Structure 1
Amino acid sequence: MDVLRTANPVWVGSSELTMTLDGITACIDAGAGAVVAKSVNESAAARRQLDIAGYAFVSGDRRVRPTGSADLGDGLLNRSGLAQVELDEWLGVLAAAVEHGAPGNCPVLGSITLGDANAAARIGRAMAAVVPAVELNVGAPHGREARAVRQLTEVDAVHDAVRTVRAAVDVPLFVKLPGQASDVVALARAARSAGADAVGLVGRYPGFLPDLDGGAVLGSWGAWGSPACLPMSLYWVAKTRLALGPGTPLIGTNGARTAADVLRFLASGARAVEVVTALWIKGPGVLADLVAGVEAYLSGRDPEEFAGSALAGTRDYADIPPNPSPAWLPYTAPSGR
């Protein structure tokens, strides 16, 4: 990616795994191409929300797994908050992490989950003094439940927030967008027009799961990520690639658990892919498997040509010729029932 040089396209996304220097350095040492540090913002309420965090790994048949027995195919429903640290202390952590990652060409990014745009600009300006790039998350799924963070789903709101932060940040600015919006491509275009250097697609979705014994899993609403979200994430990556062109760097997120998933993001038009839940399940060591799998597949291929390659020949419905025989026949209900 021209905006930010990295060792490989397998990145670690912002999460509790990247909330400490030890966590960040573990990801660096395991082979991450880049690491996005845990998000912060100006709100004490957002930090307090971490005190009520909850996590439930959910199997394909909607059973909550016992602690420590999650599988890579599981979904994750969670309730979370932001890093509980003052900004000056956090800048010191980021500076140390950046220094640790530099020899292996693994940049460490600062991350801000939007609360107030002017406050985000002040934080971004301070971060830019110690990190090579800043991620602005305007798509936090918890923004629908927690007043301390915001989820922006309207074009003007995204444009205004990005423009405000862009004016204060003199390093590359990456903007992470929600998946639950009427037109994510329009949000990506707005972010770019306001100065975003790259766009992250897409954040997790709001979720809710009754436990059938009374109440709900986690006892609340939550944020949902899953391998089943992968085609939904790839839809917006592919559509944004087509609309904005290969000159817009896209970072995929939400759904990648295996090397094949990372490659599907790249084939859809992403230039890098953030993974989180696979590390929660398998530990940072899974990064070596992901990187090796991606590199093995791309060996002998031009990564630039592979990026977006799945879009070649992909057609709109109106341009698809009729099937030679009715494809829907196997899906009709059996007679007599």
Structure 2
Amino acid sequence: MERLATTYLGLELKNPIIVGSSPLTSSLDKLKKCEDAGAGAVVLKSIFEEQIDNDAAKMISQTEGFVAHTDGQDFIEEVSRNYYIDAYLSLVEQATAALDIPVIASVNCRSQGTWLDYVERFAEVGADAFELNYYILPSDFGRSASDIEDEYFAVVQAARERFKLPLSVKISSQFTALANVVKKFDKMGVDGLVLFNKFYRPDIDIEKLTTKSSIGLSTPSDYAQALQWTALLSAYLNCDICASTGIHSGDTLIKMLLSGAKAVQVCSAVMKNGHKVIDEMNGSLLAWMDRHEAKDFVDFRGKLAHKRMEDPSQWERAQYMKSLNVEF
């Protein structure tokens, strides 16, 4: 499998398939299954800033008599936060000790909150890298695009300054000027970008008249946006790009690599079809390399990136008119 070896965030991966943050990576047993199935790396299921705060509030509500005392609430908040953070750090430590593949810790945050106070501890327990999953829902009528972008920059800059391990940022595509935002992240010294987030969506139960969560697993046709933007950006950045969303087959994996991705993250494909898809995708990649006489990744990675094509307009809106003129 040496022919499939690649680097991502400066880490050596035996192949470019990373199992993304999900229920598939929430325990040591599940992480071992990912490694045994042939994954090149794993991203641990994110620790959520909101979950920590909610659990802290729940613990406080159960100790009302105690928190009536001076400094009691602050003490309980600190203890409860540390409890959940320590449990996550324990998983990081166990995983790095038990697995031979890189282990990437992950935080899903909503602000420059208290999570910044413990990011250094990920390095102390052996994490190989850190993935920051940050998203602002642009639903505030009073906030401009530049206001929201500035908040992203502030959070990423704070993480970069506080965290010395390789840092990747998992982002959404919902920026007015995506290329400009990505370039600024690159200049901040971010080591990698994951394109793109796949979100849980709210839904409505029409009988109970309540809202509910929609799981929203990706489908094999969902890869197009990540493919386009990987091709548009990859050759112009110093940081690595990891493609995510809609990667369900070896063919899609190959497309992402040709567009310039250093690695890909899979999740829905494994949840739908089992861990065997990892080995199948690696097998498809090797077979394709044999057909095209490619010895390793250097022979083809990024060959079809925007910067390297004679006619880069094929990755731009000019293709829209061609699509409209296709005969059915």
Q: Shared topology, TM-score over 0.5?
A: yes
**Paired residue for 2:241?**
250
Q: SS at the partner of 1:117?
A: coil
Task: For residues 96-124 of structure 1, give each alpha carbon's deviation from its aligned partner in whole angstroms, at most 9, with x where no partner exists.
Answer: 2112222xxx1011001123324232232
Is the Cα–Cα contact under 8 Å of residues 242 and 263 in structure 2 kept in the other structure?
A: yes
Letter in 2 for 1:87: I
**Distance of 1:268 and 1:26 partners within structure 2:** 29
Shift of 1:290: 1.5
Is the Cα–Cα contact under 8 Å of residues 208 and 222 in structure 1 kept in the other structure?
A: no
**Distance of 2:138 and 2:209 partners within structure 1:** 18
Q: Which moved more, 1:92-101 or 1:295-304?
A: 295-304
Task: For residues 41-74 of structure 1, give each alpha carbon's deviation from its aligned partner in whole angstroms, at most 9, with x where no partner exists.
Answer: 33336777xxxxxxxxxxxxxxxxxxxxxxxxxx
Query: CA 1:278–1:107 in structure 2 vs 1: closer, same or farther (change >3 Å)?
Result: same
**Distance of 2:196 and 2:44 partners within structure 1:** 17
**Distance of 2:253 and 2:210 partners within structure 1:** 29
**1:290 matches 2:261:** no
Q: SS at the partner of 2:45?
A: coil
Letter in 1 for 2:252: D
Shift of 1:220: 4.6
Task: For residues 116-162 of structure 1, give each alpha carbon's deviation from its aligned partner in whole angstroms, at most 9, with x where no partner exists.
Answer: 3242322321112220100001248xx579xxxxxx99432222111
**Distance of 1:121 and 1:319 partners within structure 2:** 40
Please, which runs of 5 or more residues in structure 2 have no aligned partner?
Answer: 1-6, 56-82, 140-145
Shift of 1:40: 0.6
**Distance of 1:100 and 1:153 partners within structure 2:** 43
Query: CA 1:155–1:259 in structure 2 vs 1: closer, same or farther (change >3 Å)?
Result: same
Is the Cα–Cα contact under 8 Å of residues 138 and 148 in structure 2 kept in the other structure?
A: no
Is the Cα–Cα contact under 8 Å of residues 105 and 131 in structure 2 kept in the other structure?
A: yes
Q: Considering only CA atoms, is the larger Rg found in Structure 1 or Structure 2?
A: 2
**Paired residue for 1:40?**
47
Report 1:195-214 matches (<5 A). 195-205=189-199, 207=201
**Paired residue for 2:106?**
111
Query: CA 1:216–1:98 in structure 2 vs 1: closer, same or farther (change >3 Å)?
Result: farther
**Paired residue for 2:310?**
313
1:137 pairs with one of 129, 133, 136: 133
**Paired residue for 2:155?**
161
Aligned residues: 280
**Paired residue for 1:5?**
12
Please, which runs of 5 or more residues in structure 1 have no aligned partner?
Answer: 49-84, 146-151, 332-337
Report 1:1-337 matches (<5 A). 1=7, 3-44=10-51, 86-102=84-100, 106-129=101-124, 130-139=126-135, 154-205=148-199, 207=201, 219-220=212-213, 223=216, 225-244=218-237, 247-299=238-290, 300-301=293-294, 302-311=296-305, 312-316=309-313, 328=325, 330=327
**Distance of 1:167 and 1:260 partners within structure 2:** 38
Q: SS at the partner of 1:43?
A: helix
Shift of 1:284: 1.9
Is the Cα–Cα contact under 8 Å of residues 202 and 236 in structure 1 kept in the other structure?
A: no
Query: CA 1:218–1:44 in structure 2 vs 1: closer, same or farther (change >3 Å)?
Result: closer
Is the Cα–Cα contact under 8 Å of residues 156 and 190 in structure 1 kept in the other structure?
A: no
**Distance of 2:289 and 2:209 partners within structure 1:** 43
**Distance of 2:53 and 2:216 partners within structure 1:** 15
How much is the aligned-residue C-alpha RMSD, in angstroms?
3.4
Percentage identity across paired residues of the two chains:
24
**Distance of 1:37 and 1:46 partners within structure 2:** 20
> Which structure carries more helix by proportion?
2
Normalising by structure 2, report the TM-score: 0.74
**Distance of 1:284 and 1:319 partners within structure 2:** 37
